[in-house]
Chain A
C-alpha cells in the first residue's frame, strides 16, 4: 500500500518554464489537496478537489492550475514558473471529514 505518491521529488525550473506535479493515491479517497510550504512556515492550501472531475481554489491559487480527471490522481500545473513559486509542495488525500494522508513532498526551485 503506497498511500500518497508525489512525482517528481525534486525539480529545478527556469523562470517562465512550465511543469506538472503528479499526485497519486491508492486509498480510494474522494478528497485531494495541494499545499505549499515555504521555509519555516505553515501549510497553505493552493487547490483542492472533492471528487473526480471537480476542483476548487484554496488560499493561494494564483499561478497554479489543477486537474482531477481520475479519482486517484490530482495534477498541479505551473504554466509560467516564477521565483516566488520556489517552495515545497505537498499533496494529501482524505475521506470526507477524516484524516488526511500526505505525500513526501516535491521540492521545487525556480531560478
Chain B
C-alpha cells in the first residue's frame, strides 16, 4: 500500500545512547531503500541508502539494516547527539514502479 498521512511517532533518547528507528516498508517489489533526516523548517536530506542485495550498510555513526523477509528496515544511530534531533523517514523505490514511497516518519528527540 501507499504511505498515508499519519501523526508521527516519537522516540526520546538520552544523549550518548544509541538510537534505533524502525520502518516497515510496503512493497515486496522494492529493491532500493533510503533514510532521510528532516530538521525543523527544512527539506528532507539523505542519510544512507541500501540495495536489496545487502542486509547491512554502515556510514559514519549510522547503520541501516534490511530484513526483506519481514519487509523491515532500521536505522541505528550511535552515540546520539542533540544535533540528531529531527524527523527520520524511510523511503522505498524500485525500477518496477516509478515513484519513491515514503514511510510515515519518526520524530527523534535527544535529551541532553
Contact = CB atoms under 8 A, between A and B. Distances in A.
Interface range for A: 20 to 34
Interface in A89-111: 90, 92, 94, 96-105
Given A42-B89, A58-B99, A90-B44, A99 B34 contact: yes
A38 B5 CA distance: 8
B100 A100 contact: yes
B93 interface: yes
A97 B89 CA distance: 17
Given A99-B34, A100-B100, A42 B44 contact: no
Contacts of B101: 45
B34 A100 contact: yes
Nearest to A4: B43
B5 A90 contact: no
B58 to A, nearest CB: 17
A56 interface: yes
Contacts of B43: 4, 90, 92, 102-105
Interface string B81-112: 00000000101011100111111110000000
Contact of B105 (A42, A98, A101): A42
B94 to A, nearest CB: 7
Nearest to A99: B46
B8 to A, nearest CB: 6
B31 interface: yes
State the 9 A-B residue pairs at the shortest beta-carbon distance, nearest first. A102-B43, A42-B104, A42-B105, A43-B102, A97-B32, A50-B98, A99-B46, A41-B5, A59-B2
Interface of B: 2-8, 31-32, 34, 36, 41-46, 49, 89, 91, 93-95, 98-105
